Amino acid sequence: QAVVLAAADPAQPYGAALPWPAVLGDTKHRPARKAGALAVLVDGVPALYVERGGRSLLSFTEDRATLHAAATALSAAVRDGWLGRLQVQKADGERALTSGLAEVLREVGFRATPAGLRLRA
């Protein structure tokens, strides 16, 4: 089961009661309980972190099924109008179009643009 929560939501324990898991990739970005950021939990464990504005994604696992579940939940949040749209430019410190997450994001409806991967409601 995957759920999208605001990173600062009291129901989201990471960064408050529990430490964030290590992120994948070579990036200086780190998850935090910031306004506007999102955490996507799969079975209660962080799978994706969406930085404020949605330009950058961080992942916590390489498990494809987990990433697909998280990306599907994120896609549903956009399509249901909760997020409006996402324009991901970086994923795990790489250009979104060539990142390890690109294929998973495309599978759930993100489309390639010159700036990255975009999903609209």
Per the structure, the count of domains in the chain is 1
Q: Residue 56 to residues 27, 46, 70, 117: CA-CA distances in angstroms? A: 11, 16, 15, 10
Q: What CA–CA distance (Å, rounded) separates 44 from 54?
A: 21
Question: Tokens 């994706």 label which residue?
Answer: 48
Q: What CA–CA distance (Å, rounded) separates 78 from 97?
A: 19
The CATH number covering residue 69 comes to 3.40.630
Q: What CA–CA distance (Å, rounded) separates 79 from 73?
A: 10
Q: What CA–CA distance (Å, rounded) separates 47 from 21?
A: 9
Structure confidence at residue 83 (pLDDT): 85
92: helix, coil or strand?
Answer: coil
Give the H or E element holding residue 24.
none
Q: What CA–CA distance (Å, rounded) separates 45 from 96?
A: 23
* Per-residue pLDDT tens listing for the chain (121 residues): 999 999 999 999 999 999 999 999 888 889 999 999 999 999 999 999 999 888 999 999 999 999 999 999 999 999 998 888 899 999 999 999 999 999 999 999 999 999 999 999 8
Q: What CA–CA distance (Å, rounded) separates 9 from 100?
A: 28
